Amino acid sequence: MNYFEQLCDWYQQEPGTNLLKAERHLLNEWLPRLFGENLLQVGGPADTSFTSTSPIRHQVRITPSPPTTSKDMTTIIAQLIQFPIKPRSIDVVLLPHALEFLADPLETLQAIKSILIPEGYCLILLFNPISLWGITSLMNKKIYPRGTSLQFLANYKRLIKQAELTIIDQKSIYFRPPNKSKIKQHRFLFMEGIGQMCWPNCGASTLFVTQKKIFGTTPMKEKWGTSKETFSGDIIETEQRVRVEEK
């Protein structure tokens, strides 16, 4: 079982389930405001847990292996180094906890930049080691999905800058310690308000909203066929060998 399968399973049980709800709420602050034709999710849940509030009609998920859980999204089976996607064809990319696994996250970020339209958005979710979750993981390695590589957020900010993506917003969530007991989760609920006020950058998960800024030019979006065409037919590079699983 690879990392992305582990992440999907982790989201199905505590403490992952509770964090999934918090991350979905966080993404809902941005996704309804981002419009376009195509949305790409890299890894993450095989259903539409993260993208259900997006107004973008064509949504697809890319992952190195077929999903083992129930899926609601069309899935492309391909490696995450060079996406089999036409350049400048994606309006929004969602990257939920993929960089923590990849051996070369900079290469993936550069590939994402190439497939984004000018002024397109990339929303990146990352585990935060400077949090109660990160501290707890020093004693209990089972807090995160197996294979997770924790790095300081400053390292990821540097990589985002090197990939020539502009950070336009950053927000951390979930300031409670990880706990499988719903009773204890509720008991520590008061820490959410305190965390937002006192240590706003120390939540368990952090969202970076980045944008492919184009300075000094008027962005022009290329068209990939009519609206009746499917997502995969519109943007997949047909000369590359990939596997597409329809929802």
pLDDT tens per residue across span 199-230: 999 999 999 999 999 876 555 555 444 333 33
Task: Identify the pLDDT of residue 78.
Answer: 84
Distances (CA, A) of 149 to 26, 28, 159, 233: 23, 26, 15, 35
Q: What is the pLDDT of residue 220?
A: 55
Q: What is the pLDDT of residue 40?
A: 96
How high is the mean pLDDT in each 10-residue block of the chain (247 residues)?
81 91 95 96 85 94 75 79 88 95 92 96 97 90 85 96 97 92 82 92 97 73 42 47 53
Question: What was the pLDDT predicted at 246?
Answer: 56
Please report the pLDDT score of residue 81 as a whole number. Answer: 74
10/227 Cα distance (integer angstroms): 36
Q: What is the pLDDT of residue 182?
A: 78
Per-domain residue ranges of the chain: 3-245
What is the structure's pLDDT at 244? 54
> Are the C-beta atoms of 61 and 75 separated by less than 8 Å?
yes
Query: Tens digit of pLDDT for each residue in 79-95?
Result: 777 788 999 999 999 99
Identity of the residue numbered 141:
K
Element (H, E) at 243: strand 243-245
Q: What is the pLDDT of residue 235?
A: 53
**Fold of the 3-245 domain:** Rossmann fold (3.40.50)
Predicted pLDDT of residue 34: 97
